[in-house]
Amino acid sequence: MRKVDLRSDTVTLPTLEMLEAMKSAELGDDVYGEDPTVNRLEELAAEKMGKEAALLTTSGTQANLVSVLCQTRRGDEVILERDAHLYYYEVGAFAILGGIIPRLVKGNMGVMSPVDIEAALRPSNVHFPPTSLVCIENTHNRAGGAMWTPSQTKAVYDFAKGRGLNVHLDGARIFNAAVAQNLDPREFTRNADTLMFCLSKGLSAPIGSLAVGNHDFIDRARKCRKMLGGGMRQAGVIAAAGIIAIEKMVGRLKDDHVNAKILAGGLAKLGVSLNPSSVQTNILIYDVSGLGVNADTWVSRMGEYGIKFGAVDRNRVRMVTHRGVEKEDIEYTLDAAAKVVDQLRGRS
């Protein structure tokens, strides 16, 4: 039976070229700043994002955490979209380790407006914690890979700066947003003080993310990463794959977006609640209750055909396209879905 893994773009395996580069990477002790391959990756990341410096971290979660910790003080409030990855999926790390209070805002497909943020801002008053940071997410995972435009990003940034707040961009999939809008990632990152992006998702590197910002931020982030146990030694073995991820794997993300659209169009015809035009990048989130099943049942019935993906909540599931999913896998998935729908409707 064919196997199609649509759980996440994190399941992508390194390319042969990455494995070769890892084997032959020039190495040193990165805690001493002496790993030339890490240094090269960090310089490349900073340049691609239009910032002064970057820091390799073990994961996106760690890059987000150091970014928040370095821009807040204990007891500060941070504004986040209510389904932000930082809030929803990162174990509450910033609250536990940083004493930070999340202030949640409901966005429109993950995008917050200055009006939303203004409503969440509290006046300076003895009762309230001070607000210091706004976190945005592009593309937005739980909003189905929805993307911010540069003008939406600028509107929030200008507003935040006017109120003395910093902006951190969770850009785990910023290259997806850039490719989908045919833009340079700097169109987004110029309107953020700090950002993080991941090498280990659609870009197919096995490990690693980068925190990016100005020199002062990166100096503090480096110390914070050490405090979190993330100082790595010959990390050039990771960085070597990361360099290839940035230099060679960005362009192909458009294939993942095309596949996601085809998948969305086919599923919508079968009666799931999904508007294909809302699928902007490589993530689809849709409701299956119209088929008379809940999310877990849909996941397990599709699993019988070797197709893996996960439930988001009781009625919604998530599918993610990536380098390990070919056009034939999409066709196979749609055939299997049609069969399951027929079975559910008692037609076979």
Ligand X SMILES: Cc1ncc(COP(=O)(O)O)c(C=O)c1O
- Measured from the CB atom, the residue of 21 and 169 that comes closer to ligand X is 169
CB 217 within 8 A of CB 193: yes
12 binds ligand X (CB under 6 A): no
Task: Tell me the chain's radius of gyration from C-alpha atoms.
Answer: 21
Burial annotation 303-313 (CB, 10 A radius, 16+ → b, else e) = eebebebebbe
- Measured from the CB atom, the residue of 59 and 189 that comes closer to ligand X is 59
- Measured from the CB atom, the residue of 117 and 135 that comes closer to ligand X is 135
**Window 154 to 183, contacts with ligand X (CB under 6 A):** 170, 172
Within 13 A of 287's CA, how many CA atoms are on the CB side? 6
Per-residue tokens: 122: 């509290």
The helix or strand, by DSSP H or E, that contains position 341, with its residue range, turns out to be helix 327-344
Per-residue tokens: 50: 């239009």
Cα separations in angstroms, 184 against 64, 149, 187, 190, 260: 22, 12, 6, 11, 22
How many residues in the shown chain lie near ligand X by CB under 6 A?
12
132, 209, 280, 315: which one binds ligand X (CB under 6 A): 209
- Measured from the CB atom, the residue of 146 and 198 that comes closer to ligand X is 198
Burial annotation 167-187 (CB, 10 A radius, 16+ → b, else e) = bbbbbbbbbbbbbbbeeebeb
> Least distance to ligand X from the beta carbon of 58, Å?
8
Per-residue tokens: 319: 């599918």
**Window 118 to 137, contacts with ligand X (CB under 6 A):** 137
194 binds ligand X (CB under 6 A): no
Q: Which residue is nearest to ligand X (CB)?
A: 60
> Least distance to ligand X from the beta carbon of 200, Å?
6
ω into residue 139 within 30 of 0, thus cis? Answer: yes
Compose the 217-236 pattern: x for residues touching ligand X by CB under 6 A, - for all others.
--------------------
72, 141, 176, 191: which one binds ligand X (CB under 6 A): 141
What is the rounded distance in angstroms from the CA atom of residue 36 to the CA atom of residue 40? 6
What is the rounded distance in angstroms from the CA atom of residue 86 to the CA atom of residue 94? 8
Compose the 20-59 pattern: x for residues touching ligand X by CB under 6 A, - for all others.
---------------------------------------x
280 binds ligand X (CB under 6 A): no
Residues that bind ligand X (CB under 6 A): 59-61, 64, 85, 137, 141, 170, 172, 198, 200, 209
